[in-house]
Structure 1
Amino acid sequence: MTTALRRLRNYIDGEFRDAADGRTTEVVNPATGEAYATAPLSAAADVDAAMAAAEAAFPAWRDLIPAERQKVLLKIADRFEERAEELIAAESENCGKPIALVRSEEIPPMVDQIRFFAGAARMLEGRASGEYMEGFTSIIRREPVGVCAQVAPWNYPMMMAVWKFAPALAAGNTVVIKPSDTTPASTVLIADIIGSVLDELGHSRGVFNVICGDRETGRLMVEHKVPAMASITGSVRAGMQVAESAAKDLKRVHLELGGKAPVVVFEDTDIPKAVEDISVAGYFNAGQDCTAATRVLVQESIHDEFVAALAKAASETKTGAVDDEDVLYGPLNNANQLRQVKGFIERLPAHAKIEAGGEQVGDKGYFFAPTVVSGLKQDDEIIQHEVFGPVITVQSFSDEKQAVEWANGVEYALASSVWTKDHARAMRMSKTLDFGCVWINTHIPLVAEMPHGGFKKSGYGKDLSAYGFDDYTRIKHVMTSLDG
């Protein structure tokens, strides 16, 4: 007997719709490897309809006073809490994530982030008005940019949707967002939540639209004439393609791309505490996090002790079923990602040593064992390129100068961490590490008030914080003659 697949649909101008041409793709639960739903494979007609809805809704949403937009966002946050179990179930099925961890680690920060941007809506800042030319007063207006085309990734589809729509809506923009083709379920549910709130409070539901589809759908969104801004969280390749497409009509671009976070551990660190925290930060979400602590550099005097402790921690880390409260992470997101992680392990150079893991787990779904690889050199493939899996590499460095050189010696520059009891050293490292975030004696915590974003091939623009809010605004100078 074949189980009927659930039908997911686009959300355009307050209505759930199939793709105009009826095409669909199957959506697979990565914990089982089996399809559980179909989603629209949206094409040009669907993108046109979503953009038209967002464009029509923009003037009224833009002209709302900030307190009214705040009211909408606060209601959305409340509704996220009220419907939390639905969101948890959708995201767990989307990604194979452990239910308990989605409940504890994703719902609370998402709600907090929406409420933060609800407050930011009322904190539009600019330089003080004043007279900079005799007889004239200048003022600054900060305005929304317009319709925003947003593409979210598959590693945190629900939370990344929040990172995109919350600042955009708070600033007065309207949104068309596309989830990854492998993880559309939670974003479609978010559309139902936001649409119901907009309806209840008497606003156009065209303010927020969701279209499902693949890379071609995303390309059509970015190249469409309506959006004033394109925002993507994804791979470096995808970011480059978006930037190139957006350049044709000079759209604003917001890019949060890959990462290869160095974790620099000095000999004076508390080894048991560092190992405990680093293993969690490296394996959480199956290492599918651009900031994951997966590239460890350890001072040579403690290298062997640290590797042994890290391998032991890996052997004690569990991956498994969504309802098992003892697991730290679930499967890799899709079959392609499993092949990518396996490929890195299969291509390891002869001088590398697998200290723990290194293999697929089970015969169902896309689970991969927590892995530690030592003996690596700076120019090895697995050091230079993002694995995006539960694989922690370890290199041995001699001194601070070499640690900085190797830490910075990759094309990514999103996040990093330093582990030491020496305050002066920590301050020097925070200055010289070329990354958008430097954690000291911790790795991976994020708060709504602080920015998240990188340099180099990790992209540009900030998520979260007032800086992330500013990215969704434009600045206008208004000058008035005092002569009347």
Structure 2
Amino acid sequence: MTTTVVQNGDAAGYAAAPDDQNASEVINPATGQVVARYRRATREDVDSAVQRAEAAFKLWGATPHAERAEILLKIADAIQEETEEFARLESVDVGKPLAQAQDDMPLMWDALRFFAGAARVSSVPATGEYANGSTSWVRREPLGVVGLITPWNYPLLMAVWKIGPALAAGNTVLLKPASLTPSTTIKLVEVANRFLPEGVLNLILGDREAGTAMAEHPGIRKISLTGATSTGKFVAATAAKTVKRLGLELGGKAPVLVFADSPIRETARDLVAFGYYNSGQSCTSPCRIIVEETVYNEFVEAYCDEVKSLVVGDPLDPATTMGPVVSEHQMNQILGFIERARAAGAKIRVGGSRIDRAGWFIEPTVVTDVKQTDEIVQNEVFGPVMTIQAAKDDDEMLMLANDVNFGLSASVWTTNLARTLRFSKELEFGTVWVNQHEYNAAEMPFGGFGESGLGYELTAHAIDEYSQFKHVMVKPDVTS
């Protein structure tokens, strides 16, 4: 399983035999048609990949930082040169409008270039004499073989966020994309392996069996997963048996706090653009809007007007602003949330139904008249469904915002500096945006509190997440 040349939507060496009844199928969510079939990796495949990675680690782990950085820069350049193909593959796999996939592409090469630079910067304490007349220093060393498991909603971006620091730190990698959306990851591994030594980056195409095998394998020293909280809990419990390092970027239920002093129509416009991006399939989606009571009706009207202007259709059509959701299963889950909310007394202001066409299309949906305890408020819907609540004052808005188990991201929409300072401190979320949403910077950490996960992506400290630290303490005069 080392060849990863992409040919006509298949990856040579991974394509399933015609009679393979256990093959993993990739379905275009805009048409419902199968576009590729891959054989599922077995436990034996995972073990073979670990052995290759262990052999490659002897060289890659000892490669100077500058050489690792140079290779990451070459990978970034190659991705940039092939950006149109990457964007097309991502659009077809995920159902994201092509224009959105193209807009995401600079994030890929920017992150890799950042980690190339960060690879050459030390984060350890200065060498010095701290105790007992001895000289101390710290060695930052790679962990060894690491396992990276990426989600279906942003398969390419999450792969880059993980392989960047893992490779920069000197680790070798097993990379497993979600079985629904493997195409850009296959292409990424093919591009990266033009420059990396054999065995440094290994592709695993599979489902739960392969992921479990990675979490259980004693030769893998860290598992980094982006996915659902339930999956993260399972992986954490499994990895604990071999005391692996963990990085878990899990679910979210982002509160959006809209205050009366914000420009209401402009705020509604921006939140619709952020909320229905990628059909709302984002762990940071601004899906739980809480509006100051005095402007609630005005905001709801403006927001619904903006939602009605969205163009749902073929992701490859330039006019499309929202595509399908990723799978039939995901579509049915989302429709179930809507129906249960309606049965509980919520009001469906816009949308709420499947669109009658091929593929997995749902109308962009707005839900109001919800209670804080409702399932649709507390749990991650992960689709084009946004709830809007009212709150009478700052204290109630803060209480409602924090009253969930997730703590990944939040945003505050206000022109009041004092309120900005208060909410940036008291909101219990890993990222707090003000008058914007969904933006990240490679230099800043991305991670969550509570059931949203453990550890951080991005920032130079992400390299530390893939490192181990050794304190060396030397007393020069052994006779004293």
- Normalising by the smaller structure, the TM-score range is over 0.9
- Alpha-carbon shift at residue 326 of structure 1 (Å): 2.5
- Alpha-carbon shift at residue 362 of structure 1 (Å): 3.3
The number of equivalent residue pairs is 469
Contact 1:314 1:357 in 2 (8 A): no
For residue 41 of structure 2, what is the amino acid of its counterpart? S
Q: TM-score when scaled to structure 1?
A: 0.94
Aligned partner of 2:160 in structure 1 is: 162
Aligned partner of 1:450 in structure 2 is: 444
Aligned partner of 2:417 in structure 1 is: 423
Contact 1:9 1:212 in 2 (8 A): no
* Aligned partner (choices 123, 126, 144) of residue 125 of structure 1: 123
For residue 169 of structure 1, what is the amino acid of its counterpart? L
CA distance in 2, matches of 1:326, 1:18: 34
CA distance in 2, matches of 1:441, 1:467: 27
Contact 1:6 1:36 in 2 (8 A): no
Aligned partner of 1:13 in structure 2 is: none
Aligned partner of 1:328 in structure 2 is: 321
Task: Describe how 1:201-220 pairs up with structure 2 within 5 A.
Answer: 204-220=197-213
SS at match of 2:199: helix
Aligned partner of 1:8 in structure 2 is: 10
For residue 104 of structure 2, what is the amino acid of its counterpart? E
SS at match of 2:337: helix
- Alpha-carbon shift at residue 98 of structure 1 (Å): 1.6
2:104 aligned with 1:106, yes or no? yes
**Once the two structures are superposed, what CA deviation does each residue of 1:278-310 show, in whole Å capped at 9, x if it has no partner?**
111111000000000110000110000100110
Contact 2:407 2:428 in 1 (8 A): yes
CA distance in 1, matches of 2:159, 2:337: 29
Contact 1:8 1:37 in 2 (8 A): yes
2:389 aligned with 1:391, yes or no? no
CA distance in 2, matches of 1:32, 1:156: 20
* Aligned partner (choices 341, 345, 352) of residue 358 of structure 1: 352
Q: TM-score when scaled to structure 2?
A: 0.95
Contact 2:96 2:279 in 1 (8 A): no
SS at match of 1:56: helix
Contact 1:452 1:464 in 2 (8 A): yes
Task: Describe how 1:393-408 pairs up with structure 2 within 5 A.
Answer: 393-408=387-402
Aligned partner of 1:245 in structure 2 is: 238
Task: Describe how 1:64-213 pairs up with structure 2 within 5 A.
Answer: 64-103=63-102, 105-198=103-196, 204-213=197-206
- Alpha-carbon shift at residue 115 of structure 1 (Å): 0.5
Task: Describe how 1:26-41 pairs up with structure 2 within 5 A.
Answer: 26-41=25-40
**Gapped runs of 5+ residues in structure 1?**
11-15, 199-203
CA distance in 2, matches of 1:408, 1:28: 37
- Alpha-carbon shift at residue 89 of structure 1 (Å): 2.1
SS at match of 2:242: coil
Contact 1:6 1:38 in 2 (8 A): no
For residue 38 of structure 2, what is the amino acid of its counterpart? A
After alignment, is 341-350 or 455-464 more displaced?
A: 341-350
CA distance in 2, matches of 1:375, 1:355: 10
CA distance in 1, matches of 2:344, 2:226: 35
CA distance in 1, matches of 2:9, 2:301: 48
Contact 2:14 2:38 in 1 (8 A): no
Contact 1:9 1:40 in 2 (8 A): no
CA distance in 2, matches of 1:133, 1:464: 34
Contact 1:135 1:483 in 2 (8 A): no
- Alpha-carbon shift at residue 467 of structure 1 (Å): 2.5
CA distance in 2, matches of 1:482, 1:259: 53
Instruction: Let me know the Cα RMSD of the aligned residues.
Output: 1.6
**Gapped runs of 5+ residues in structure 2?**
1-6
CA distance in 2, matches of 1:372, 1:93: 26
Aligned partner of 1:479 in structure 2 is: 473
2:42 aligned with 1:43, yes or no? yes
Query: Among the aligned pairs, what percent are the same residue?
Result: 46
Task: Describe how 1:367-386 pairs up with structure 2 within 5 A.
Answer: 367-386=361-380
**Once the two structures are superposed, what CA deviation does each residue of 1:299-347 show, in whole Å capped at 9, x if it has no partner?**
1100001001101010001221122222222110111100011001111
For residue 59 of structure 1, what is the amino acid of its counterpart? K
CA distance in 1, matches of 2:79, 2:392: 49
Contact 2:16 2:23 in 1 (8 A): yes
CA distance in 1, matches of 2:116, 2:288: 36
CA distance in 2, matches of 1:18, 1:319: 32
2:333 aligned with 1:347, yes or no? no
CA distance in 1, matches of 2:92, 2:339: 29
Aligned partner of 1:201 in structure 2 is: none
Contact 1:7 1:39 in 2 (8 A): no
Contact 2:137 2:471 in 1 (8 A): yes
**Once the two structures are superposed, what CA deviation does each residue of 1:390-413 show, in whole Å capped at 9, x if it has no partner?**
111001101111111110000100
Aligned partner of 2:253 in structure 1 is: 260
CA distance in 2, matches of 1:375, 1:149: 43
Runs of 4+ in structure 1 off by over 6 angstroms are 19-22
CA distance in 1, matches of 2:9, 2:92: 14
